[in-house]
């Protein structure tokens, strides 16, 4: 199982995940100082082999390489503080959310996604919500990409 934490911050999810599961955890974070903190934590906890971190924009990562993706409302960070009033911050936010919707839509069937506080957009209709619970002030939701169903007319499906 390969898990992507898209917007990994200081790496809490990946490090704890590596401690308590057999999965491989990959944190992608654009703030280099947070990536360094995450890598130091993984080293200190002796989980560096299973919890790896990379400084990058999640838009540059192929999400389809992973079995599962975690999104803790990452893109809102662009709006924090005084930048909220800036049109450029909102333009960036809207673009990143749209990019995430497209990446989610292209995940393979069976891929699982967990969102906490959402991600700012709509889950593509190709996902089913398997569970939802309130954790603190946010909603923690588990989604699974549905199998592809043929949209070909019945007469075509029958003859192929
Ligand atoms: C709310 S924090 C979540 C941290 C972590 N996933 C956790 O559960 O503790 C969101 C993080 O996403 C990062 N982020 C936002 N947009 C990003 C992007 N386009 N590419 C990479 N990281 C991004 C922010 O810098 C921030 O550290």
Domain ranges of the chain: 2-159
Ligand 1, CB within 6 Å, residue ranges: 5, 7-9, 12-13, 28-31, 34, 57-59, 72-75, 77, 96
Specify which residues 2 forms β-bridges with.
24
- Rounded to the nearest angstrom, the distance between the alpha carbon of 154 and the centre of ligand 1 is 45
Residue whose C-alpha is closest to residue 124's, from 135, 140, 113, 137: 113
Tell which atom from ligand 1 comes closest to the C-alpha of 34.
27
pLDDT digits (tens, 9 = 90+) for 57-98: 999 999 999 999 999 999 998 887 665 567 888 899 999 999
Could you tell me the pTM of the whole model? 0.91
* Dist CA 123 CA 57 (whole Å): 20
**CATH code given to domain 2-159:** 3.40.50.150
In terms of pLDDT, which residue wins out, 125 or 77?
125
Torsional class of 136: left (φ above 0), alpha (ψ -120 to 50), beta (otherwise): left
Torsional class of 73: left (φ above 0), alpha (ψ -120 to 50), beta (otherwise): left
- Rounded to the nearest angstrom, the distance between the alpha carbon of 20 and the centre of ligand 1 is 22
Q: Which residue has the tokens 């080293």?
A: 43
Residues 6 or more apart from 87 whose CB is under 8 A from it?
A: none
pLDDT at 154 over 60: no
């Amino acid at each position: 199982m390969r898990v992507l934490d898209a917007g990994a911050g200081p790496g809490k999810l990946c490090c704890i995940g590596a401690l308590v599961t057999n999965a491989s955890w990959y944190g992608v974070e654009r703030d280099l100082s947070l990536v360094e903190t995450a890598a130091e934590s993984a080293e200190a906890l002796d989980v560096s082999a299973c919890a790896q971190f990379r400084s990058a924009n999640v838009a540059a990562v192929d999400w389809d390489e992973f079995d599962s993706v975690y999104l803790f409302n990452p893109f809102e960070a662009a709006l924090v503080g005084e930048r909220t009033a800036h049109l450029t911050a909102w333009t960036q936010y809207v673009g990143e959310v749209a990019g995430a919707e497209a990446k989610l839509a292209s995940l393979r069937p069976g891929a699982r996604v967990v969102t906490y506080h959402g991600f700012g957009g709509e889950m593509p209709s190709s996902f089913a919500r398997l569970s939802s619970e309130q954790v603190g002030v946010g909603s923690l939701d588990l989604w699974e990409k549905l199998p592809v169903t043929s949209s070909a007319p019945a007469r075509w499906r029958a003859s192929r």
